[in-house]
C-alpha cells in the first residue's frame, strides 16, 4: 500500500509495527483497537491488509536511518493524540550452538534481535521528544530472556538486552516527565508461547540443534499455544493500563 493513503488530519493514532507481515505483528495490525488509526508495517514482505508498508531488512543497519527519518517526518508537527511503536520483528535463525552455526547468519541475528530494538527504540524516543500527544513504545521480549536454552544463545541474549534497555529507557523517560518534558512509556512484553511461524520452525528443529524441541512439541500437542490475536489484544490492552515506565511485562501474568 502506498504512502498516499496517509492523511495527517484524519489520524488520531499513529502506529508503527515492525514485523506486521506475520505472526504477532500481523495480529496486532488486524486488531488495532483505535478509531482513525494509521498503521505502518516495517518488514521485508509486507502484505498486511489496510496497512502502509515500509520495506526494510532490519538485520541491515543501513535501513535504520530511513526508519528514524520516517518517525521524524510523521511525528514532527503531528496533531495526532497518540503515537505507538511496537517492535515485533525477530528471528530465531540460526538455531544451533554458538561456535557451530553460520557466522553471517549469527551476525544478522544479533543485528536484528539485539541492535535493532535499541537503535529503533532510541530513534522513536528521539522523534517523539517533541510530540505533543501520548507516546508508547512496546518491545517484544521472551521467556528466553530469563531461561537459557541451548541453541538460542543470541536470541536469548537479545531478549535479555531488550528487557534491560527498557528498564533504563523507562527511568530516563520518567525523569523527562518529572522535568515537565514530553515523555514516552517504554515497556517490554513477553507474549507467552504463541502459534506463529516461529513456533512451527521450533518444532521442525533437529534436537541436535535445539535439545528442548520436545517441550515445544508437547505444548503444541496439548493445545497450549496462545492464538496470535489473543496475544495481540493483550498487548493493545497495555496502552490503557497503569504501568510503571520501564516495566517488563509477561502477558501470561496479567490479571
Ligand X SMILES: NC(=O)c1ccc[n+]([C@@H]2O[C@H](COP(=O)([O-])OP(=O)(O)OC[C@H]3O[C@@H](n4cnc5c(N)ncnc54)[C@H](OP(=O)(O)O)[C@@H]3O)[C@@H](O)[C@H]2O)c1
Strand partners for 39: 15
Nearer CB in complex with ligand X: 78/195: 195
249 touching ligand X, by CB under 6 A: no
> Based on CB atoms, which residue is closest to ligand X, 43 or 245?
43
Q: Residue count at the site for ligand X (CB under 6 A)?
A: 27
Contact between 196 and ligand X per CB under 6 A: yes
Sign (positive or negative) of CA dihedral 24, 27, 33, 36? positive
Neighbours of 148 (CB within 10 A): 11
Closest CA to 170 of 212, 196, 135: 135
The nearest distance, CB 47 to ligand X, in angstroms, is 8
CB-nearest residue to ligand X: 23
Restricted to residues 134-173, the positions that interact with ligand X (CB under 6 A) are 140, 142
Stretch that binds ligand X, among 71-79, 83-91, 167-175, 234-242 (CB under 6 A): 83-91
123 binds ligand X (CB under 6 A): no
In the complex, the residues that contact ligand X under the rule CB under 6 A are: 19, 21-25, 43-45, 56-59, 88-91, 112, 140, 142, 191, 193-194, 196-199
Amino acid at each position: 500500500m502506498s504512502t498516499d493513503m496517509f492523511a495527517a488530519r484524519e489520524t488520531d493514532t499513529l502506529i508503527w509495527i515492525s514485523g506486521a507481515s506475520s505472526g504477532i505483528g500481523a495480529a496486532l495490525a488486524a486488531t488495532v483497537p483505535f478509531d482513525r488509526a494509521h498503521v505502518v508495517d516495517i518488514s521485508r514482505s509486507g502484505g498486511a491488509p489496510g496497512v502502509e508498508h515500509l520495506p526494510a531488512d532490519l538485520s541491515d543497519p543501513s535501513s535504520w536511518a530511513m526508519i528514524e527519518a520516517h518517525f521524524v517526518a510523521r511525528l514532527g508537527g503531528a496533531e495526532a493524540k497518540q503515537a505507538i511503536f511496537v517492535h515485533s520483528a525477530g528471528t530465531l535463525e540460526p538455531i544451533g550452538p554458538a561456535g557451530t552455526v553460520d557466522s553471517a547468519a549469527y551476525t544478522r541475528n544479533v543485528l536484528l534481535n539485539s541492535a535493532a530494538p535499541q537503535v529503533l527504540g532510541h530513534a522513536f524516543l528521539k522523534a517523539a521528544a517533541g510530540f505533543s500527544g501520548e507516546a508508547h513504545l512496546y518491545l517484544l521480549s521472551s521467556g528466553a530472556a530469563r531461561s537459557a536454552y541451548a541453541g538460542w544463545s543470541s536470541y536469548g541474549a537479545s531478549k535479555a538486552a531488550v528487557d534491560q534497555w527498557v528498564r533504563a529507557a523507562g527511568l530516563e523517560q520518567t525523569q523527562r516527565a518529572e522535568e515537565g518534558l514530553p515523555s514516552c512509556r517504554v515497556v517490554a512484553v513477553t507474549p507467552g508461547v504463541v502459534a506463529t511461524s516461529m513456533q512451527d520452525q521450533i518444532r521442525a528443529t533437529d534436537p541436535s540443534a535445539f535439545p528442548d524441541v520436545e517441550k515445544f512439541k508437547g505444548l503444541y500437542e496439548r493445545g497450549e499455544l496462545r492464538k496470535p490475536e489473543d496475544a495481540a489484544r493483550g498487548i493493545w490492552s497495555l496502552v490503557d493500563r497503569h504501568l510503571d515506565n520501564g516495566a517488563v511485562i509477561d502477558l501470561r501474568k496479567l490479571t
